[in-house]
Each structure stands twice: as C-alpha cells, then as structure tokens.
Chain A
Amino acid sequence: MGFGLLSLLTWLPVAGGVVVLLLGDRGIKAGRWVALATAVVAFGASIPLWTGFNPDTFDYQFVERVPWIPALHSTYFFGVDGISMPLILLTTLITIPVIVAAWTVIEQRPAQYFAAFLIMEGLMVGVFSAADALLFYFFWEAMLIPMFLIIGVWGGPRRVYATLKFFLYTFLGSVFMLVALIYMYMQTTSAGQGDYSIAAFQALPLGAVEQKWIFFAFLLAFAVKVPMVPVHTWLPDAHVEAPTGGSVVLAAIMLKMGGYGFLRFSLPITPDASREFDWLIILLSLIAVVYIGFVALVQTDMKKLIAYSSIAHMGFVTLGAFLTYDIVAATGKLQGATMGLSGAMVQMISHGLISGALFLCVGVMYDRVHSREISAYGGVVNTMPKFAAFMVLFALANSGLPGTSGFVGEFLVILASFNANFWYAFLAGTTLILGAAYTLWLVKRVIFGAVANHHVAELTDLNAREFIILALLAVGVLLLGVWPAPLTHVMESTLQHLVQQISASKLPL
C-alpha cells in the first residue's frame, strides 16, 4: 500500500513550513497566508479521517506501508485506530488558532515562528500515525527540535533555562525507551521475523523480568511527557517562558503524547508489569490530582496556574488508563473496564481544547498588558466583556462544569474509579472542588471586580481574529460537552480490544 492521507497530513505542514521559511521575514505577508492556508487545508484534509473511519473495527485504518529501512526491518508504516484518530484531528485543529493568534503579535523573526509550528504540526501527526515503533520514535524525538527553538527564541526572560530543561528532560526519558524498543526488535528477530511494527511488539511474549524493565523504560519516557509527579517540574517552566502558541501546542498536544504512549505501548506490550505496578501509577496520578491541585491554588502567575492545572488534569488520564486492572479485578467483567479508558481519552481531547483555549486567553491579555501576574489585572470584564464571556466559559469547563467537555472525561474516570475502589474515587473527586477553587478564584481576581489599574482601564476588547479562534474552541468544548457520543463511539472497538490485550497475561501459567 502506497502513500495516502496520513502522509499528506504529515508532510504537507512540513512542506508549508519550508515554504514560509523560504519566503522569509520580508515575505511575511504572503508567508502568513501560506501558513494559515496550510493549517486550514491540513485540518480540512483530516476531516475524511473522521467521516471515513470505520468504528466497528480495532484494526489500523488508512494504512500506508512501504519499505523504509529494510536493513532494520523497519517500514514506513502509517495507520490510525480509535485512539490516534481523534488526537490527529485535535492536532490539526489546534494549529489553526496557534497560527491565527500569532498573526501580528510575533514581531521578531515571524517567518521562522510560523514555519516552526507548521513543521511541528507535521511531526506530531507523524507521532500519532506511526504504526512502526522506529518511525514513531523518529517523529517523537524530531518534534523536540522545533519546540526547543520556539521556547528558546520567542520565550520569556528565563527562556534558555526553560527550553534546555524541557529538551533534556524529554530526551533523557526517550533515550531509554529507544533502548527498550531495540530490545523488543531483537526479540522479534530471534522469534524468526525481525519486525519493528508496534503490532509485533504487542504480540511479543515477554517474561516477567523483561516486562518490568521495559515498563520502566516506557514509564520514564511517557511520565516525563505527560508529565507525572515527580518529573513534572519542566512543565511550569516551559509553559511560563514559552510564547502563547508554544504553550498552546505544549498543553494541547504534546502532553497527550505521554498518555497516547501509555495506551499504545505500556499497557498492551507489558500488561503484566502494568498490572503489578498499576498502584504506582494510580498513586502518582492521585498525587497529581490532589497535591498539584493545591499547588495550582497558590500560583500568582496565570500561565503557571494553568500549567499546574494541566498536570492535575493529565493525572486523570493516567488514572483512567491504569484503573483497568482494578476494575476487572473488582467486577470480573471486561465491559466496564473500557469506561476508565474512554474517560482518559475524552479527557485528553477535552483538555487539549480547554487548556489550549485558556492559554490563548492569557495570550490575549498578555499581548495588551505584557504581564502574566494575576495581581496586574482585575475587573477585566468592564473593559473586555466579550473576552470575559469566553474566559469564564473556558474556566468553568476547566473546573468540570456539566455541559462542557471537561465534565465528560472527569465524570467517566471518577465513575470508573468507583468500580475499582471507593478511595480512588474519593480522592479523584476532590478535583471537582480544587479545580473549581483555583480556576474560579483566578477568574474572580482577573475578570471580576472593579477596574484595578489604568492598564486594565485602557484594554480593548477582542478583535475579530481573536474572537474567531476563541469561538472555534468554545464550539468544540460545548459540542463535546453536550454530545460526546460521536467521540466515544469511534474509539469504542479499539478500547475494547485494548482491554482484551491488557487483561490477557503474557506470562506462562
């Protein structure tokens, strides 16, 4: 099977990025439009993934497979299933507001800015599309380069520290994953046919000791990316220093790769080690939900607050994913176990939209006042009523208000944890209070009240450009909130298959 839609979605943005780069800062007027056109076309081209998707099978769809490195038995193997398809759509969608938000705001080296985001979009789609482990790793690492530059060139005052920390943390995590991947490839080789495809790895019989090592190698890579406590410290730094677009992509998509990695690699490849250490992941997830929730409460910097809130929300993703074993053990049935997983998936998509939108909101204010301190604002609703409406909506969604997408994911995970253990559910449930506390308190201090100072008094409301991108995301948040069925429907078979994979032990009895 030759090249197809997924290759287009991967390489079109990269090509668009190169064109923008070649047009340069002098041709930035044309460059902007090329960037926007590329992003819009890529999003348009990704819609057939949704409409043409067959939800009744867990097999890879839109498959492309051509030889890449025959010497290593690695193929250029693309395909999507119910887990990766929504994430690809999220990626192509989020890139549009990122491009639009930077339209005139980025004054320094704008061509490179747009190019970096487009190239990164392509690489991120590649990560989600790759069905070959080596190809996956290839995109997974390559993606760090544009992000490193984005934070380092257009970031805040401590950008160099933040971007080096970001790169080194993620690189350290990934190197050991690579070592594990090579090991598994060699196992497939000794089993006869050398193969780097993820499916071959999932089918690989692995002993208990091997699984443990591989599990921890993966954990290092994915925990850093999610990020989980205690390797989360790069995220607040990176978020605070990154330009608005960088924060949006980081929160909306990059963090999801950690969750995706758990679902695609850790759980199906090392089911027994995952079962053995699920308490560890659950513990770390609950710490993220509760402890990081408190940490978020005391932040004085808006971006930092949202960054911590991201860590807490991603705790739900890992919690939902690793609850499966306890649910199966508690109920003895496989059916109920998909609930935690679909909660994790919905949470990823929803958090992508909400956190992206919140960072855009902060960006809107930052562009006007050039401060991210909460104390620099107050009473913004008086001068920016339209903006305030959006900000309040996203804040409520972030705290999990029913009717918004934030509710669906959290609700599913909490519901699933009741099946597993009451105390899990109890602790996870505290997010409804903590999340509401830190988000609403933020809104109260920034949006409501009397006009705090002359900066706020001079604010101008959203322009058309900003209005459109926030409205776009608001529609997504509400749509997913009131009608999540289409999303849960497409991933149902895939998740059922996943539950079967992870509950079947690879160990000899």
Chain B
Amino acid sequence: MNTATAFTWASLQPALPEIYLTAAICVLLLADVFFGQRRRGLAPTLTLLILVGGAFVTGEYANVSERILLFGDSYVTDPLAVLLKLFGFLTIALALLYSRGYLERRGMMRGEYYVLALTALLGIFVMVSANSLLTVYIGVELMSLSLYAMVAFDRESGIAAESAMKYFVLGAIASGMLLYGMSLIYGLTGTLRFDELAAIPPGVPSLGVILGLVFIVVAIAFKFGAVPFHMWVPDVYTGAPTGVTLFLSTVPKIASFAFAFRLLAQGMGSIATTWQDMLTPLAVLSMVFGNIIAIAQSSLKRMLAYSAIGNVGFILLGFVAGGEKGYEAALYYTIAYVIMTLGSFGVLTLASRAGFEAEDLDQFKGLHKRDPLLALVMMILMFSTAGVPPFIGFWAKFNIFQALWLTDHYWLIVIAAAMSVVGVFYYLRVVKLMYFDPPGDLPEGSASGVAVRAVLALNAAAVLVLGLVPNALIQLCAGVIG
C-alpha cells in the first residue's frame, strides 16, 4: 500500500469512530468550559448523546465487512473491531448512566470526569484497532492515564488517592515491561506490524523472541489483572469510588481482550504454543487464587475484585485453548462478563446514597426487604456469574469448557470445573445475605431515579434472555472471529 497517498474520505471512513470520538471530546471539553458551571447536567447528557451518535456513526458509516488496513498499515478494522467498538459505546453509556447519581451526590459530577471517560474509550478503540506494537502502546497509555485520573477523581478521599497511586506506579512498571518486550521483538524481527509479525516461522522461536514475549505477556497479565500480577486489582477496586470501580471493572475488560487478541492471537499466532504455555499457569493461578480468596472477603467490592481475577482466569483459558473456538469463547466470555459486571456494580452504585457507601457484604443484609428490585437484579447476576443456567454466565463457562475439550486440555477442564464450584459458594452467600437474612438498621427505600432502575432491570433481563436464547450472541462471536 502506498502510504504517501493523500487521505480521502473513503480511506478515512473505516477510522471514523476514533475521528468522531476525538472531535466529540473536544466539543465536550469546550462546552463544559463555557456552560458547565451554569448547567451541571450538561456534561452527562451531552456525553450520552455523543455515545449514541458514536454508535450510530460506527454502525452506519464504519461498519466494515472485511479486514481493512489504514495509516501505513498500523491501524486495522474488521468486524471484530466494529463489534467491540459498538459494545464499548454501550458499556460506557451504561456505566456512566448508573454512576450519575453517585457522582452527583459526591460532587464528582464534573465535565472533566466525562472527558476522561471518553478519552479512556478512545484509548480502548485504538487498542481494538491496533495493527502495530506502537499503536497498541498508544492505546494502552491513553486508556491507563485516563483511568488513573478517574480513580483519583474524588480529591477529598485519601484512600482513593492511595489506590490511584498504587495503580499508577504498578501500571507504569507494566508499561515499561510492555515497551521493553516490544523493543526486543522489534529488534529481532525488524517489524512493528502484527501482520508481518505473524510471519515469524512456526516452531520454537529464538530465545530473544521468547524473552520479548515474556515481557509482553506480563504486561497483558497486568492489564487483565491475572495472578501473580493482580495485586492492584483488590486495592484499586476497593479504594476507588464505587462509581469509578463500576467503570474500571467493565470497560477496560474489552480492551484487555482486544490487547491479547491482536497482539498474541493475531501477531504471534504462529508461535501460539509458546505464549499459551506462559498463559496456562497464569490462568490456573488466577482461577484458583481469585475464587478461593474471594471466599474470605467481608467487603463486597473486594469480593467482586477477586471474582474478577477468577473470571479473568477463564478468559485466559480461552486463549490457552486457542484456535477459532478458543478465541470465540474468550470473546463471548468477555462480553458476558462485562454485561454481568455492569449490573452487579450497578447495583452497588445504586444502593449507595449520600453518606452511605454500600460496600460491605453486611450492608446487603435483607436488601430484599429494603429494595426488592435491586435484590432481584443482584440475585440474577450472582447466579449468572456463578455459571448457573438459565443465565448468560452459564454459556460463557460452557464455551470455555468446549474450547478446552477441543484442544485436549483435560486437566484444565477439571480445574476450571472445580473452581466454578468454589465460585458458587461466595456468589450464593450474597444471595443468602439479601434474601435469607433480616435487614439490620440500614436505610430503606431507594435514592435512585426510576429511569436508571429501569435500565438496570433491562440489564438483568438481558442476562436472562441471552441465557435462554444464546444462539445469536454465540454466532455473532463466531462470525467476527472466523
């Protein structure tokens, strides 16, 4: 491809989501500077409109049916990218919608927060569409820097500042690892582009490539929050304001999947067995540690953080299984997990109110009496995350099992099955607290608006409906990977 060609509309069109988002961020920034002080609801409302518009633009004008390379072949778009971007718009819209009341009550509903959220989304889009090591790196940094700032957004909170600091320092180390690994790979192969990296001869790669790969895998494991690079997850999830944790636990998971898929599955596909051997212990340790340590938690946020680690183990198993089926399973699991986590952290966010953070498990005692809708939604989500039919979480685990069978990973199946049983225990404990225990002297009634609650109910309904008729989503995942 001739990179000197002047950009035309047709050549830019596939990158429209990023271009649109960049422009929209500028508009939002300006609008907030000029009108934000007088109209406090401006930023959230405008952001919502931007997201709806973005989904429309992506679906209507950037909806490619085949793989297209742009910008000196460092940018790629394909059906998978379109799906992940559309899903990104939806996820972030829901995350911001759920947390709006929360942010407002804590004086955090300022324009900058929404700008940061959108730049994080832009970073995710860049990762989703990356076809070169540098593009990925730009995406990772854009997303991470926005997230660090979001975690520290509540200036009054010492613990939030502490978690942001932890997150930042560890994240910076991971970024360094990533860059170092990339430089090794680049030095040995002479290319940054994934489609050219894919030409690495299959078999056992040279020691230098292996070394580079190790650093890259470490960085990916850090972004996913896989054991033993998970230390930041519980602290950041707990320390960040719940509304931010909601954001943090969902939107970046899409990016992590894209990160691993573009870099490992597509870029390093020819030496898959090498990195799969590295991922296997990470996946197993994540499942085991995440699920077992979650049992001992007394804070719901912390429990969900460990549950996230355990679930990451399952997503990584999809990559370990490899092949189309494996990546499909990982993609399906990611989407299912994000939908479920949106709901469960949504419940946490909505259950909080002025001067009352719903964080500890004990604060969910008798939630059924105090707020039946939230309790019902949470129950559905807990059963789903535990992997019980008829909910979507069951099919997510099911697909992983099937992918592992296809590739003869017998012991991994046994471990995964055993760990999903362990997981059931602590998810059920949440149901037990909400439904079996009497409410203490906790505040009754609801502080959240009807519209938000309706959206949350729809979220839970989606978990049920996608579980009852799972075919469409399974086929969609198969279609974009295949």
Contact = CB atoms under 8 A, between A and B. Distances in A.
Interface of A: 67-72, 137-139, 141-142, 144-145, 148-149, 152-153, 159-160, 163-164, 167-168, 171-172, 175-176, 178-179, 182-183, 185-186
A416 to B, nearest CB: 36
Nearest to B390: A142
B470 A69 contact: yes
Given A71-B471, A141-B394, A142-B388, A179 B436 contact: no
B432 interface: yes
A179 to B, nearest CB: 6
Contacts of B431: 148-149, 152
B417 interface: yes
Contact of B389 (A137, A176, A186): A137
B471 A70 contact: yes
B452 interface: no
Contact of A145 (B383, B429, B471): B383
A160 B435 CA distance: 11
B435 A153 contact: yes
Contact of A68 (B418, B425, B435, B471): B471
A407 to B, nearest CB: 39
B78 to A, nearest CB: 20
Which of B383, B418, B421, B436 has the largest number of chain A CB atoms within 10 A? B436
Given A71-B471, A71-B474, A141-B394, A149 B435 contact: yes
Nearest to A76: B469
B393 to A, nearest CB: 11
A141 B389 contact: yes
B389 to A, nearest CB: 5
Nearest to B477: A71
Contact of B388 (A68, A70, A141): A141
Interface of B: 383, 388-390, 394, 398, 401-402, 405-406, 413-414, 417-418, 420-421, 424-425, 428-429, 431-432, 435-436, 469-471, 474-475, 478
The 5 closest A-B pairs by CB, nearest first: A71-B474, A69-B471, A175-B417, A152-B436, A138-B389
B435 A171 contact: no
Contacts of A148: 428, 431
A385 B428 CA distance: 44
Contact of B405 (A68, A69, A153, A186): A186
B425 to A, nearest CB: 6
A149 B474 CA distance: 30
A178 B420 CA distance: 12
A176 B416 CA distance: 10
A164 B435 CA distance: 13
Nearest to B394: A141
A69 B394 CA distance: 14
Nearest to A135: B389
B471 A182 contact: no
A152 B417 contact: no
B474 A69 contact: yes
A138 B417 CA distance: 16
A180 B292 CA distance: 25
B398 A160 contact: no
Contacts of A183: 405
Contact of A182 (B405, B421, B469, B475): B405
B475 A144 contact: no
Nearest to A69: B471
Given A160-B432, A175-B420, A145 B388 contact: yes
18 contacts: A69-B471, A71-B474, A71-B475, A138-B389, A138-B390, A139-B389, A145-B388, A153-B435, A153-B436, A159-B436, A160-B432, A171-B388, A171-B421, A175-B418, A175-B421, A178-B401, A178-B417, A185-B402
Contacts of A138: 389-390, 394
B432 A152 contact: yes
A145 B388 CA distance: 8
Nearest to A109: B368
B424 A171 contact: yes
B448 to A, nearest CB: 21
Most buried by B among A139, A167, A185: A167
Nearest to A176: B417
Contacts of B390: 138, 142
B413 A167 contact: no
B402 A182 contact: yes
A137 B402 CA distance: 15
Contact of A160 (B417, B421, B436, B469): B436
B431 to A, nearest CB: 8
A72 B328 CA distance: 13
Contacts of A70: 471, 475
Contacts of B388: 141-142, 144-145, 171
Contacts of B432: 152, 160, 163-164
Contacts of B417: 175-176, 178-179
Contact of A142 (B389, B401, B402): B389
Contact of B435 (A144, A152, A172): A152
Contacts of B402: 72, 182, 185-186
Nearest to B470: A69
Most buried by B among A72, A144, A159, A185: A72
Nearest to A155: B436
Contacts of A176: 417
A178 B428 contact: no
Contacts of A178: 398, 401, 417
Contacts of A175: 417-418, 420-421
A149 B436 CA distance: 8
Contacts of B425: 164, 168
B424 A168 contact: yes
Nearest to A137: B389
Nearest to B376: A21
Contacts of A137: 389
A78 to B, nearest CB: 15
A72 B394 contact: no
A183 B431 CA distance: 32
A64 B234 CA distance: 49
B193 to A, nearest CB: 33
